[in-house]
Amino acid sequence: MHDLKLLRERPDALAAGMARRGKGDVHAPALARAAALEAERRRLIVAADERKAARNAVTAEVAALKKARQDAEAPMARSRALGEEIAALEAELAALEAALGDLLLGLPNLVVDEVPAGDETANAVVKSWGTPRPADEAHPHWVIAETLGLLDLPRGAKVAGSGFVAFRGVGARLVRGLMQFMLDLHTREHGYEEVWVPFVVNRQAMIGTGQLPKFEDDMYAVPGEGLFLAPTAEVPVTNLHRDELIDAGDLPRALCAYTPCFRREAGAAGKDTRGLLRLHQFDKVELVRYETPETARAALEALTRHAETVLERLELPYRRVLLAAGDTGFASAMTWDLEVWSPGTNKWLEVSSCSWYTDFQARRMNLRYRPAPGEKPRFVHTLNGSGLAFPRTIAALLEHHRQPDGRVRVPDALRSYLGADHLG
């Protein structure tokens, strides 16, 4: 959510930020309406304050008249009339603030200057690691998994529908091994505190991290409960300290968690439906950081390196991509995408988005810290990234490490978790 001061004093900066995302025309009416509502909000506050001051003066007059045993009926009537005006103004103000809040919730974050303008064609590959396996040497992961008995797509669909999968035997152990490997790496080597969080979240939590109201159609709701299945651990983990004032000495704070993730993908029908490429339920280890504004940019680099380390330990070629403004997520101010090479589909597949949200999420969550005793509280900066999402990581692992005999070599870093050096 944006600072009302920015809307009031620098509406041009908000308009320019929407234009950099390629959404200037889309959001222009909302910005104009929000600016008008903010001006009216301030007028109502001034009007209410003036009447409150007048009522205070009348109250003093009434007290003086009563003390002098004089008739106070006329000023008491004025006081009642002023009270009614104040109540009406405050009701109007509450309705206006609700409307203004709804408008602001629909406006995306401003990207930082480092992010290039433009749509996805302006995305920039800034780093590559490893040697991609040629596509003509590879097999699709769903063929490898079915041959080795790791994945049961028909029965997953039978019990839950398209977009849900069942892992079996060594395949199930692979999922569990990846979870333990990633959590151990991030907690033991990268300094994250592991948390185990609810897999359902309330509406306020979804609004806090920016999934609602914009992406409600993509979420799985729990009817009658006011809850949603978590679309990512970002939501419950980032919201753990919502409405709190954190001591500056407790920053930075780094948290990691495993969760299953649930997304309807309402706008993605027909895209990448083979195998593990696009699922309605998948597993992920998430990295979340609370930082000060001064440390946040460096923290984005550190968090991204932590995610890259997973790919390097799994010996999977990847590239880092800086997303352009028009391809940057709604709540993000800057995002590095990590893409792993899938020789079986001849594509680069996103396995992690590492994002810096500036104070956008923190404003929605009222998550603040006090820089020093006696100083005014400030909003923290939040960051998160997948470290990593499992399905496409598994797809790339199977396709890259398949051997001529049909078995899949297990990378050294993962062998102790699976108790084997090959799958199959």
Q: What is the pLDDT of residue 137?
A: 81
**What is the number of residues in the chain?**
424
Q: What is the pLDDT of residue 392?
A: 97
Q: In what order do the strands lie in the sheet with 378-379?
A: 245-247, 368-370, 378-379
Q: Measured between alpha carbons, how far is 416 from 424 in angstroms, rounded to an integer? A: 16
Q: What is the pLDDT of residue 272?
A: 65
Q: Measured between alpha carbons, how far is 211 from 264 in angstroms, rounded to an integer? A: 13
By C-alpha distance, which of 30, 22, 29 is closest to 111? 22
Q: Write down the pTM of the prediction.
A: 0.93
110 in any annotated domain: no
First-last CA distance in the chain: 50
The CATH number of whichever domain residue 207 belongs to comes to 3.30.930.10
Last residue of a domain, one of 105, 133, 154: 105
Q: Are residues 83 and 139 in the same domain?
A: no
Q: What is the pLDDT of residue 23?
A: 85
Last residue of a domain, one of 79, 105, 131: 105
- Round the CA-based radius of gyration of the chain to a whole number and report it: 27
367 in any annotated domain: yes
- In three-state secondary structure terms, 372 is coil
How many structural domains comprise the chain? 2
Q: Are residues 283 and 411 in the same domain?
A: yes
Contacts 24+ apart (CB under 8 A), 14-18: 14/107, 14/110, 17/110, 17/111, 18/107, 18/108
Query: Would you write out the chain's pLDDT as a tens digit for each of its 424 residues?
Result: 899 999 999 999 999 999 999 988 899 999 999 999 999 999 999 999 999 999 999 999 999 999 999 998 999 999 999 999 999 999 999 999 999 999 999 999 999 999 999 999 999 999 999 999 998 888 999 999 999 999 999 999 999 999 999 999 999 999 999 999 999 999 999 999 999 999 999 999 999 999 999 999 999 999 999 999 999 999 999 999 999 999 999 999 999 999 999 999 755 555 667 899 999 999 999 999 999 999 999 999 999 999 999 999 999 999 999 999 999 999 999 999 999 999 999 999 999 999 999 999 999 999 999 999 999 999 999 999 999 999 999 999 999 999 999 999 999 999 999 999 999 8
Q: Measured between alpha carbons, how far is 385 from 307 in angstroms, rounded to an integer? A: 8
Tokens found for residue 287: 């990295």
The answer for 132, left when phi > 0, alpha when psi is -120 to 50, beta otherwise, is beta
Rounded to the nearest angstrom, the gap between the alpha carbon of residue 82 and the centroid of all alpha carbons in its chain is 46
Q: What is the pLDDT of residue 206?
A: 98
Q: Are residues 43 and 141 in the same domain?
A: no
The answer for 191, left when phi > 0, alpha when psi is -120 to 50, beta otherwise, is left
Would you say 124 and 322 are in contact if contact means Cβ atoms under 8 Å apart?
A: yes
Residues annotated as catalytic are 263, 278, 350, 353, 392
Q: Are residues 88 and 236 in the same domain?
A: no
The CATH number of whichever domain residue 92 belongs to comes to 1.10.287.40
Would you say 398 and 408 are in contact if contact means Cβ atoms under 8 Å apart?
A: yes
311 in any annotated domain: yes
111 in any annotated domain: no
Residues β-bridged to residue 337: 321, 353
Q: Are residues 8 and 49 in the same domain?
A: yes
Would you say 259 and 231 are in contact if contact means Cβ atoms under 8 Å apart?
A: no
224 contacts: CB under 8 Å, gap ≥ 6: none
Question: Residue 227 corresponds to which amino acid?
Answer: L
- Find the domain containing 59 and state its range: 4-105
Tokens found for residue 158: 């039978």
Q: Are residues 235 and 343 in the same domain?
A: yes
Q: Measured between alpha carbons, how far is 18 from 325 in angstroms, rounded to an integer? A: 9
260 in any annotated domain: yes
Q: What is the pLDDT of residue 348?
A: 97
Tokens found for residue 234: 């970002």
Q: Are residues 317 and 211 in the same domain?
A: yes
Rounded to 5 degrees, what are φ and ψ at 295? -105, -5
Q: Are residues 137 and 99 in the same domain?
A: no
